[in-house]
Amino acid sequence: MSTRRPPCPRCGRTHHAGYARAVGLFGPSEGIRYRAHYPDAPERRTRAEAVQDMCDRYATKEDQ
């Protein structure tokens, strides 16, 4: 059974875990945050949000 998913209709790419990375792993225990994998990406509480930021970035880039 294939694990591939169809590309995102918004950014035209298939989302994957590499879109986001955890930050704050060695900081206070209160918080791991996630950031999309591009400079100046905002910190998010969930990986899903950070992935969405990456999606937004790709989608925006194609518009410009």
Interacting residues toward Zn ion by CB under 5 A: 8, 10-11, 55
Compute the C-alpha angle 10/51/59, nearest 5°: 30
By beta-carbon proximity to Zn ion, the closer residue of 33 and 55 is: 55
Smallest separation (angstroms) from Zn ion to the CB of 23: 21
Smallest separation (angstroms) from Zn ion to the CB of 20: 12
Smallest separation (angstroms) from Zn ion to the CB of 24: 25
Distances (CA, A) of 37 to 1, 34, 47, 51: 29, 9, 11, 8
